[in-house]
Amino acid sequence: MSLVVIGTLAYDSIETAHDSRESALGGSAMYFSVAAAPYVQPRLVGVVGGDWRDEDMKLLARRGVDLAGVESIPEGKTFRWGGRYEPDWNTRHTTFTELNVLESFEPKLPAHYCQSKFVFLANAHPQVQMQGLAQVESPIFSVADTMNLWIDVARPDLDQLLHKIDGLILNDEEARMLTGENNLIRAAQRVLELGPKFVVLKKGEHGAFLLGEGLHFSLPAYPVTEVIDPTGAGDSFAGGFMGWIAKTGNAYPDTLKRAMLHGTVAASFCVEGFSVEELANRTLDDYEARFQDLQAIVTL
Amino acid sequence: MSLVVIGTLAYDSIETAHDSRESALGGSAMYFSVAAAPYVQPRLVGVVGGDWRDEDMKLLARRGVDLAGVESIPEGKTFRWGGRYEPDWNTRHTTFTELNVLESFEPKLPAHYCQSKFVFLANAHPQVQMQGLAQVESPIFSVADTMNLWIDVARPDLDQLLHKIDGLILNDEEARMLTGENNLIRAAQRVLELGPKFVVLKKGEHGAFLLGEGLHFSLPAYPVTEVIDPTGAGDSFAGGFMGWIAKTGNAYPDTLKRAMLHGTVAASFCVEGFSVEELANRTLDDYEARFQDLQAIVTL
């Protein structure tokens, strides 16, 4: 079934202990779309500037992403972000953020996007997320991501958003900040009291768990032997997760559990290359093979 | 089947952000025995001083632990250790270590212990571990733990030990130190090259994984909502793990995988109380109920 994603398209400058990239393809909606593409045709909503490279549009088109919702502002500049990772990967420093065209971004969904049944609101100001969601006429399942910044500066808007969505995906640090609970299970329980029917709590290299009413599923990460660049792993997880759900066409507990594995698979491909370099080459066969591997590792 | 454990008996001084205990029952062989006791009668080998409290001996006897191998040195003092945890539990400071009677400890196994089929060598100098192992006549399955100190100061002895055992249980930090590999999967692969047929790599609150030839199983931790004292969690894991294997009587891959869950269950009971206060009250029924809970959380 149809899946729409609203989020950022970016050029990233990334430094790791081993290598670096300038103006690499990035952004939450970018990673999400590339990750979800083997399962469905993601309908992408985002904004780019006049510096957006034609080759990047082609990459997305080749991947089967619907680009009708990508707004281009020729006189503007694409959102840019820079990050540097410590050798242990656990600490990331943001070296710069240039909002550029993102500053005045208001999502506008093309007519056919408004019929989408599955919605993912990637990290953005919660008002922007709500503007996007409001344009979808009768979504059957909507999930959002968020980040520390919005928890800090836009809490009332975020609280409103949390009552409009079915699920929230966030990481350990964000869950602790949102709820004031250090213990992650208790933090996830608190998130459920804020509105969503379920929460996916991501713990990076330590996996993720899913909590909802009568639903609890915990999964380790896929054992990647060489991490190249963790940028976008969380958005790729969301892409694999939502892509699988949209493909299946329902959000029953069994579907959500399997979606956790599909999200984990997508995130593992993401971190094996810079930017979307590896992820964008992965086929449905690759996804299925790694799904089998992961399932074998976690099955008694 | 019979299970012997060789390790320490201690009095611990523990400080957490919320509470503290002086001279609390501790030590690697203590936690291991109390954790394994619902499955088998562990045969305990260790040494205590004249300060060892009669009530502690009674607690172990009530738990069904075989105490024939506990040596008492009335003119000596029991091994004592002090630790303080940061509020996030992730950092532990050793406040003091008094080896006392442990300084000259040489394990002596009573005659009936020497017939044991399953052996656990809890953390100790690898020479002491080898002395203990040598006294078991025909073990079918032996597993050891170790720590940073021995990796640092007794590496040749440790390397020798690694060729005599079937499995090694160690934590993430120790695995990195032993192999020089930061990536945990690669670290575990390297450990296998050092001798053992399998390795269990513990990641504290993030679970553990098992790696061996044709064997890979990964498991999140049990979601404890309130940690009281993490001291002994690793030894309790080993107790549940080895207790289940000894009860089953074989070390087939399926047994080892299920043993990972039993170890996780024992560790979760351990951290829910100070010292062995909670763990020592847990019955076989409690273990089985939590095993079912954990299995439900990790099963697709």
> Tens digit of pLDDT for each residue in A146-191?
999 999 999 999 999 999 999 999 999 999 999 999 999 999 999 9
* Mutation choice for B interface testing from A171, A177, A183 by most B CBs within 10 A: A183
* Residues 6+ away with beta carbon under 8 Å from A252: none
Of A185, A225, A300, the CB nearest to B223: A185
Nearest-neighbour CA in chain B from A179: distance (Å):
14
Question: Per the structure, how many domains does chain B have?
Answer: 1
CB contact under 8 A, A225 and B300: no
Measured CA to CA, the distance from residue B221 to residue B271 in angstroms comes to 12
Measured CA to CA, the distance from residue B231 to residue A221 in angstroms comes to 26
Measured CA to CA, the distance from residue A40 to residue A152 in angstroms comes to 34
Run means of pLDDT, 10 residues per run, chain A, 300 residues: 96 95 97 98 98 96 98 98 91 94 96 98 95 97 94 96 98 96 96 98 95 96 95 97 98 97 98 97 98 97
Residue B228 within a domain: yes
Of A185, A218, A258, the CB nearest to B298: A218
CB contact under 8 A, B225 and A186: yes
**What ipTM did this prediction achieve?**
0.91
CATH number for B244 = 3.40.1190.20
Q: How many CA atoms lie within 13 A of B117 on its CB side?
A: 13
Residue B293 within a domain: no
Token duo for residue B228: 């009281």
**Maximum CA pair distance of chain B?**
57
Run means of pLDDT, 10 residues per run, chain B, 300 residues: 96 95 97 98 98 96 98 98 91 94 96 98 95 97 94 96 98 96 96 98 95 96 95 97 98 97 98 97 98 97
Of A12, A66, A8, residue with least CA distance to A36: A66
Residue B79 within a domain: yes
B6 strand-pairing partners = B45, B121
Helices (H), B37-106: 54-62
Residue B88 is predicted with a pLDDT of: 82
What is residue B278's DSSP assignment? T
Residue type at position A86? E
| Chain A residue closest in CA terms to B297 | A217
B30-49: b (≥16 Cβ within 10 Å) or e:
bbbbbbbbbbbbbbbbbbbb
* Torsion angle (degrees, nearest 10) of CA A65, A68, A69, A74: 110
A119 strand-pairing partners = A4, A142
Residue A100: burial class (beta carbons within 10 Å; 0-12, 13-18, 19+): buried
Residue A168 is predicted with a pLDDT of: 98
Nearest-neighbour CA in chain A from B221: distance (Å):
9
Give pTM, 2 decimals. 0.94
Residue B91 is predicted with a pLDDT of: 87
Measured CA to CA, the distance from residue B145 to residue B162 in angstroms comes to 10
Check: CB of residue A263 under 8 Å from CB of residue A18.
no
- Domain holding B37, by residue range, is 3-286
Residues in chain B within 8 Å Cβ distance of A296:
216
Helix, strand or coil for residue A24? strand
Measured CA to CA, the distance from residue B133 to residue B243 in angstroms comes to 18
Measured CA to CA, the distance from residue B178 to residue B95 in angstroms comes to 24
Residues in chain A within 8 Å Cβ distance of B272:
none
Residue A236 within a domain: yes
Nearest-neighbour CA in chain B from A212: distance (Å):
12
Helices (H), A96-193: 126-134, 148-153, 155-162, 172-179, 184-193
Measured CA to CA, the distance from residue B223 to residue B241 in angstroms comes to 18
Measured CA to CA, the distance from residue B12 to residue B18 in angstroms comes to 17
Residue B296 within a domain: no
Query: ∠B28-B34-B37 over CA atoms, to 5°?
Result: 130
* Mutation choice for A interface testing from B200, B217, B300 by most A CBs within 10 A: B300
Q: How far is CA A260 from CA A40, A217, A238, A244, B230, in A?
A: 17, 9, 9, 9, 29
Nearest-neighbour CA in chain B from A272: distance (Å):
13
What is the dihedral sign for C-alpha A193, A195, A198, A204? negative
Measured CA to CA, the distance from residue B224 to residue A218 in angstroms comes to 13
Measured CA to CA, the distance from residue B87 to residue B77 in angstroms comes to 31
Residue B291 within a domain: no
CB contact under 8 A, A257 and B88: no
Helix, strand or coil for residue B133? helix
Residue B294 within a domain: no
CB contact under 8 A, B218 and A87: no
Q: Does B88 touch chain A (CB under 8 A)?
A: yes
| Chain B residue closest in CA terms to A176 | B88
Residue B147 within a domain: yes
| Chain B residue closest in CA terms to A189 | B225
* Mutation choice for B interface testing from A205, A290, A300 by most B CBs within 10 A: A300
Residue A89 is predicted with a pLDDT of: 85
